[in-house]
Copies of this chain bind each other. A is one copy, B any other.
Amino acid sequence: MEDYDPLALENQLCFPLYAASKELTRQYKPLLGPLGLTYTQYVAMMALWEHDGITVGELGAKLYLDSATLTPLLKRLENHGYVQRERSKEDERAVIVTLTDEGRDLRKRAVDVPFCMAGCLKLAPEEALELKRLLTKVLQSFA
């Protein structure tokens, strides 16, 4: 290992992580486009399908996003008719995000998306699990 180059692209761990993430969201496009969603809007909807009626801050904590990203994104989802945004009565600082009927119905049209992605991801099931475990570990090391 005498001539190991720490700055060679080939020797990076972070670069394939960065590149794979970009390529992945590109793969989602043909699946999400018909639903009128970008990838980030899709993960926001996933969070809301699980936890309807949470605040912008709570949503951001789940998605690792702040209000600078979420506020305009949620306005776009609102314009699409998928969510509703309203100030909390109990705490006027917080904004509650609620699914509309259309937003809830969208879930049915999205259930095939994870299955399609699993198909184009050429990993053995145990490799996919190990990858997820390692990525979660990386993510947690930045807590």
Contact = CB atoms under 8 A, between A and B. Distances in A.
A24 to B, nearest CB: 5
Interface stretch (A14-22, A73-81, A86-94, A95-103): A14-22
Contacts of A8: 46, 50
Does more than half of chain A's interface fall in helix, strand or loop, or is it mixed?
Answer: helix
Given A6-B114, A7-B49, A62-B9, A131 B135 contact: yes
B110 A7 contact: yes
Contacts of A29: none
User: How many of these chains are in the complex?
Assistant: 2
A136 B14 CA distance: 11
Given A23-B142, A122-B141, A130-B130, A135 B17 contact: yes
Contacts of A17: 17, 20-21, 24, 131, 135
A110 B5 CA distance: 12
A46 B6 CA distance: 10
27 contacts: A7-B46, A7-B49, A7-B113, A9-B62, A13-B121, A13-B128, A13-B131, A14-B117, A15-B46, A16-B136, A17-B17, A17-B24, A17-B135, A18-B25, A18-B39, A18-B43, A19-B64, A20-B138, A21-B21, A22-B64, A23-B64, A23-B138, A24-B138, A24-B142, A121-B141, A122-B138, A134-B134
